[in-house]
């Protein structure tokens, strides 16, 4: 959608080039964010931060690649992080499956050219990954109680420890998952893989 001249401008940090990209992408990026985030201010923040991230990482911009999909990935990851944070605040560390918002695939096709995993799936994946990275015993207890839905008493008997100890493990696990999820800043990693894979 943008010519080489604009992309070179982006790479050189020229505000005019950023303005050009901004005016044509803003309405759609906003439309995409609004699928997941209701607060207008938060949407504005995400888009603004997205453009600033692009600016900060401008050395990695390759004029041969699509700026649209690059910005889309940056903005998508910011949405993902906001949602994670919100989910964690709401549900005490459990991330339930929620139905993916169908319209997001429209934006995926438009910006990246194909349908990829939904934001919801990405969120669950990163949550599962955080669970997998827990220490063995903690992971076992957390999975039994929180994912398989077993009673704390049962698990305590199975392991031969007190219910209090189980509770302690679970709250520790929750904290670790929370830290992992919030610390995880996928935008950079994805940005790099993106630049190499296209």
- Which residues of this chain interact with other proteins, rule CB under 8 A? 1, 13, 15-16, 18-19, 22-24, 26-28, 30-31, 44, 47-48, 51-52, 55-56, 102-103, 105-106, 109-110, 113
Q: How many CB atoms lie within 10 A of CB 172?
A: 15
In the complex with other proteins, the residue whose CB is nearer, 6 or 156, is 6
Q: How far is the CB of 110 from other proteins (least distance, A)?
A: 7
Smallest distance, other proteins to C-beta of residue 60, A: 16
For other proteins, the closer CB: 112 or 176: 112
Identity of the residue, 44 or 157, whose beta carbon is nearer to other proteins in the bound complex: 44
| Distance separating alpha carbons of residues 97 and 32, to the nearest angstrom | 20
The widest CA-to-CA distance across the chain, in whole angstroms, is: 68
Distance of closest approach, residue 177 Cβ to other proteins, in angstroms: 33
The CB-of-75 to other proteins minimum distance in angstroms stands at 13
Between residues 13 and 135, which has the closer beta carbon with respect to other proteins? 13
The Cα–Cα gap between 191 and 198 comes to: 11
Minimum distance from residue 149 beta carbon to other proteins (Å): 35
In the complex with other proteins, which residue's Cβ is closer, 56 or 121?
56
């Amino acid at each position: 959608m943008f010519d080489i001249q604009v992309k070179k401008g982006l790479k050189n940090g020229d505000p005019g080039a950023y303005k050009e990209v901004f005016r044509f992408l803003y309405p759609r990026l906003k439309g995409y964010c609004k699928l997941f985030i209701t607060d207008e201010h938060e949407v504005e923040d995400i888009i603004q931060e997205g453009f600033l991230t692009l600016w900060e990482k401008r050395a990695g911009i390759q004029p041969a690649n699509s700026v649209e999909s690059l910005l889309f990935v940056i903005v998508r990851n910011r949405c993902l992080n906001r949602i994670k944070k919100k989910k964690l605040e709401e549900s005490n560390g459990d991330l339930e499956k929620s139905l993916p918002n169908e319209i997001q695939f429209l934006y995926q096709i438009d910006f990246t050219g194909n349908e990829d995993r939904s934001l919801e799936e990405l969120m669950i994946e990163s949550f599962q990954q955080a669970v997998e990275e827990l220490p063995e015993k903690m992971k076992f207890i957390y999975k039994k109680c929180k994912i398989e839905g077993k009673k704390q008493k049962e698990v305590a008997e199975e392991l031969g420890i007190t219910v209090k100890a189980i509770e302690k493990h679970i709250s520790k696990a929750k904290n670790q998952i929370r830290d992992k999820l919030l610390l995880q800043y996928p935008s950079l990693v994805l940005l790099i893989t993106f630049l190499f894979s296209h």
